[in-house]
Amino acid sequence: MHKNKLLQFGLTACVLLASQIAVYPQSSNQDAIRLFNQATSESDPEKKIALYKQAVELDPTFIEAQYNIGLAYKHAKDYNNSEVYLNNARRARQSGTDEKLLARVLYHLATVQKRLKKLKAAEATLHEAEGTGKDRKMQSKVAFELGLVLYEQGRYDDALSHLRTSQSQYKESSSFFENLIKIVETEVQVSELEAEIQRSIDAGNVLQAQAQLQQLRNLKPNHAGIAEKMTFIDSLMNDKAKKEFLQDMYEVATTHFGKGEFEKAASSFEALLQHDGRYRDAKARLEEAQTRLAEQQKQQEIEESYASGLEALDQENWTRAIIAFERVVELDPENQEAARKLRTANRGLESAGTETILRQYYLDGVNAMNNKNLSAALASFQKVYSINPRYKDAATLIEQIKRSHTPTTTAALSSDEYFNSLYDQATTAMSEKKWVQSVLTLEKLRLLAPNDHNLLNLLIQAKENMKLGDETEAASAQDGKRMNPMVYIGGFIAVLILPVFGFVVFSPTSRARIHYLRGNYPKAANIYERMLARHPERLKYYPTLANIYLILGRNDERALKVFRMIIDLNLAKQIHPQINAVLSQKYLSDGHSHDDEAITILENELKAVQENQAKS
């Protein structure tokens, strides 16, 4: 019963109100009336207009003729001429003009002005039409159209106030007003969210802006500019990830420095400066860490050489003891104890023969080379060379060591602890479905390892889930709550492995699914479109394609055709509310708010709202 009333209301607007006036035309010129009556029975549009114009030439105040010319041009979508003649009809009003006729003239003039994007003029005309005539149906249409004009001007508060008042005044059309009220309320929420997003961006709260943008997308999937906003916020998130990464690296480096781990500190500062050569005081801190590291390494070498010298003295290995204590004295000239031990080793060596000394130095050099201690090996062979330049291959070994031996440099950053910590944070966030935080952490990891394909695929997966949003995740979980875990594992493996092996061995369905998992929605849509063009009977692919269109915010003719099929065949009921929202918005924006199909769509959206209210 409710549906019949709503359809009757819409059809009255589209058909009865558009019918031409043919009964009791108001003119004192009988020839003009004759031409008018002849025109109403004429089927050829051009001849009809010509006859009406002849009638107007005979009687310029003939309001019905002017009105019918305007309607004829409106039907032909010649809105400029339609506006001219409907305006003429309005100006031709006389003291005896039928008020109901005048209300129709003003109503149609306003709809034509709206078509011409003259929204202010349409608003003024509708205000003029308010209270004109006693036809409640016409007045309710005037009220609805005025609400629509206010909405299209972006004056949402004015539109809501007017529509709610009109809904109360015209209770027989309450549900029809309710649909437009719901759409305007959505636009109010959209405007508020857009303002909140901008405030979050201005305040540097990128994570909050990302969450608010997802709310906006869930509220109105096809809202203009969502893709651009997502790209912009993604770039801000990347910047935020880099800033946090640099701050983290700085804190890691300073922590190592505070613990006396100068090699790790120097490596961390070096890595930090590779990403930002002017970050805070990192350069000065690096130089200080390198200085402290050199002192630390020097002290360590002194201690190790002194211990090695003592061990060699105990073994009466005079050559090795001399090398060790000479190194200690070289590094620390004030070390009297090492100098005394060196003298002891020299006296021991003096008692040995030259051949024994050469053999021992040479043997020490070979052992040092085997242990990769090139500095000690070089010192031993130089001793051999100073005593006997021709002894074995000492000269050759010295040249070889000099060519291969370079001073010890600061070790490159391993960053293992920091990397592992970030990786654990990312995987934990993903397991807890905290997609925004996981994206931010994975962006940091990619700064450390830009060529890591595993990180790239994890980032793709996290971004995909973040874009799908809570609503889509909930629907997917409901549909697949009994799904075999191997399906998910297989999909994840596909995301990781396919970049290496490509798509060559996979069917079109698999390729489409893979593109979908990797977030490449246009390619996925293209494959499904080609499959359905060849096999339109495969109904199982329509819901997936419709979901992709919703994600992309598409409302072109191809997408609308798929959306209508989903509704008509009652497929994928969980996405019907989103589809109805897109279709109703499309019809309103195109100015077909009174067509039968538009009325059905608007009624479906109203029914969905009522069902949700009943459930809650």
User: 82-98, pLDDT tens digit by residue?
Assistant: 999 999 988 876 656 67
Residue that wins the pLDDT comparison between 379 and 81: 81
For residues 522 and 99, give the distance between their C-alpha atoms in angstroms, rounded to a whole number. Answer: 55
Per-residue pLDDT for 7 more than 80? no
Radius of gyration of the chain (CA): 43
Question: Torsion over CA of 293, 298, 300 and 301, rounded to 10 degrees?
Answer: 140
Residues 436, 455: contact at Cβ < 8 Å?
Answer: no
Range in 88-97, 268-277, 552-561 with the lowest mean pLDDT: 88-97
Q: What is the distance between the terminal CA atoms of the chain, rounded to a whole angstrom?
A: 25
152, containing H or E segment = helix 136-152
Instruction: Indicate where the chain has its CATH 1.25.40.10 domain(s).
Output: 2-153
Give the pLDDT score at 467.
59
What own/partner pairs with CB < 8 Å and gap ≥ 24 does 244-248 have?
244/440, 244/444, 245/275, 245/443, 245/444, 245/447, 245/448, 246/272, 246/275, 246/276, 246/279, 248/418, 248/422, 248/444
CATH of domain 2-153: 1.25.40.10
Give percent of the chain above pLDDT 70. Answer: 79
308, containing H or E segment = helix 282-314
Per-residue pLDDT for 377 more than 70? yes
Q: What does pTM read for this prediction?
A: 0.42
Q: pLDDT digits over 111-137, tens only?
A: 999 999 999 999 999 998 887 877 888
Give the pLDDT score at 472.
44
Residue written as tokens 């915010």?
Answer: 553
For residues 85 and 75, give the distance between their C-alpha atoms in angstroms, rounded to a whole number. Answer: 13
Give the pLDDT score at 505.
37
140's tokens: 């309710």
227's tokens: 């893709």
Q: pLDDT digits over 410-463, tens only?
A: 333 344 566 777 777 888 888 787 777 777 788 777 667 777 767 777 777 777
Domain 294-404 is found in CATH 1.10.1060: no
For residues 29 and 6, give the distance between their C-alpha atoms in angstroms, rounded to a whole number. Answer: 42
Domain 418-615 is found in CATH 1.25.40: yes
Q: pLDDT digits over 320-360, tens only?
A: 888 888 888 988 899 899 899 888 888 877 766 677 777 77
Task: Tell me which amino acid residue 339 is.
Answer: A
Give the pLDDT score at 497.
36
501's tokens: 């092996």
